[in-house]
């Protein structure tokens, strides 16, 4: 087992939020500073930070900074609404964003009504969300690692490590935990176009951890499973609804189809804060065509190419073997198991 090197991408200190700029990793390690909701929204929109749990923690701190600014200017909690609305519009698919913002807002409003400091209440709630996120990652890691055997080759898409969560990770957190338990595993990482989170970020975390890996192009998943003895697939989630339908990075649905064809387990790993009970549909974000026609500003297609760039797809529940959460493993039918875990 290699030397452990935990990545910490989100630091809140002295009323200032520092984010490790994931757009330039692994070639540079630079930090972006945020001081209010609008700056935080810009960082989320620009992909300085990404991954649903990490977006949630970042949004929680963005909300508390905006409330602190508004209260300090004598405008109260409601004076923060305009900035927080900008924050809420930054990434529509990531449910953790809405969950975290609403928790911080509710805590600050309750404090104001009770005659307590709403800014302090907002900050404490944001820190609580951050700590819960960390503990959830540790728990998911332990639960999910039980599904990985010594000697397994496992496959993953996008980046679901500490960079996507704030600590350890979801799907990659399970893989890291299995490695730390002494299991000799090998990871196959999909490059994950168009932002290349797999080749840039997952490889970055695997190298820091010392875990053996193979990087492949997205279209090579089937032949790799067929020829390299992949035993299971672990993916993250940006939003999960009642029936277990899971929004995750584009290409996840395709990977689930390939996994089902070869009869290998396809596991989703996500905290319960990603599960939106009562929802049936998932809005899928589309981003700029430039993300497909260029790589780091270098054109790779002809000018004026017609582009469809959804950044998420939705994996149907029948393709998902199980959903690993911090409170246990949900299995079909997900309408029952997810509801039970949320209530636990």
- d(CA 59, CA 81) in angstroms, rounded, equals 14
The CATH superfamily label for domain 140-343 reads Translation initiation factor eif-2b; domain 2 (3.40.50.10470)
Q: What is the mean pLDDT of residues 187-208?
A: 97
3-class DSSP assignment, residue 153: strand
Where along the chain do its domains lie?
Answer: 10-137, 140-343
How remote is the C-alpha of 299 from its chain's centroid?
28
Count the Cβ atoms, other than its own, within 10 Å of residue 165: 33
State whether residue 131 is helix, strand or coil.
Answer: helix
Pick the closest to residue 142 from 269, 249, 253 (CA basis).
269
What DSSP string runs through 28-85?
---EEEE-SHHHHHHHHHTTSS-SHHHHHHHHHHHHHHHHHHHHHTT-TGGGGHHHHH
Mean pLDDT confidence for 32-60: 96
- Render 232-296 in DSSP notation, one character per residue: EEEE--SEEETT--EEEETTHHHHHHHHHHHT--EEEE--GGGEETT----PPPB--THHHHEET
Tell me the average pLDDT of the chain.
Answer: 95
Q: Is 21 a catalytic residue?
A: no
Q: What is the mean pLDDT of residues 125-154?
A: 98
First CA to last CA distance, the chain: 35
d(CA 111, CA 254): 46
pLDDT of residue 5: 60
Read off the pLDDT band of 342 (50, 70, 90).
very high
Average of per-residue pLDDT across 331-343: 97
For domain 10-137, the CATH superfamily is: translation initiation factor eif-2b, domain 1 (1.20.120.420)
Mean pLDDT of 261-281: 93
Whole-number pLDDT of residue 2 = 43
Tell me the mean pLDDT in the region 159-185.
97
Residues 166 and 122 sit within 8 Å (Cβ to Cβ): no
> Which residues have a Cβ under 8 Å from the Cβ of 326 and sit 6 or more positions away?
135, 136, 137, 139, 140, 143, 271, 272
pTM for the full model?
Answer: 0.91
Which residue in 238, 243, 290, 313 is the catalytic one? Answer: 238
């Amino acid at each position: 087992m290699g030397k452990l090197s935990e990545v910490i991408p989100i630091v809140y200190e002295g009323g200032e939020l520092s984010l490790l700029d994931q757009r330039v990793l692994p070639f540079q390690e630079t930090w972006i500073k945020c001081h209010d909701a609008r700056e935080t929204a810009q960082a989320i929109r620009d992909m300085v930070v990404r991954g649903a749990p990490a977006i949630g923690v970042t949004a929680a701190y963005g909300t508390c900074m905006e409330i602190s600014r508004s209260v300090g200017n004598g405008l109260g909690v409601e004076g923060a609404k305009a900035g927080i609305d900008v924050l809420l519009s930054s990434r529509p698919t990531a449910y953790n964003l809405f969950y975290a913002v609403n928790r911080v807002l509710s805590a600050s409003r309750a404090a104001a009504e009770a005659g307590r400091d709403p800014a302090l209440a907002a900050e404490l709630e944001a820190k609580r969300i951050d700590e819960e996120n960390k503990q959830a990652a540790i728990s998911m890691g332990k639960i999910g690692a039980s599904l990985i055997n010594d000697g397994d080759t496992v496959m993953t898409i996008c980046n679901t490590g500490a960079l996507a969560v704030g600590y350890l990770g979801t799907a990659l957190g399970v893989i890291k935990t299995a490695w730390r338990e002494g299991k000799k595993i090998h990871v196959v990482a999909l490059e994950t176009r168009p932002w290349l989170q797999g080749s840039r970020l997952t490889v970055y975390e695997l190298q820091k951890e010392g875990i053996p890996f193979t990087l492949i192009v997205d279209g090579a998943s089937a032949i790799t499973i067929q020829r390299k003895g992949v035993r299971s697939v672990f993916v993250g989630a940006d939003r999960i609804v009642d029936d277990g339908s899971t929004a995750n990075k584009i290409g996840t649905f395709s990977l689930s189809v390939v996994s089902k064809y070869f009869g290998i387990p396809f596991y989703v790993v996500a905290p319960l804060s990603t599960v939106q009970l009562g929802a049936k549909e998932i809005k899928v974000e589309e981003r700029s065509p430039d993300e497909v026609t260029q790589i780091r500003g270098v054109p790779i297609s002809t000018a004026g190419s017609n582009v469809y760039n959804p950044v998420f797809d939705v994996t149907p529940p029948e393709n998902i073997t199980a959903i690993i959460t911090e409170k246990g493993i949900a299995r079909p039918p997900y309408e029952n198991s997810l509801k039970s875990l949320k209530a636990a």
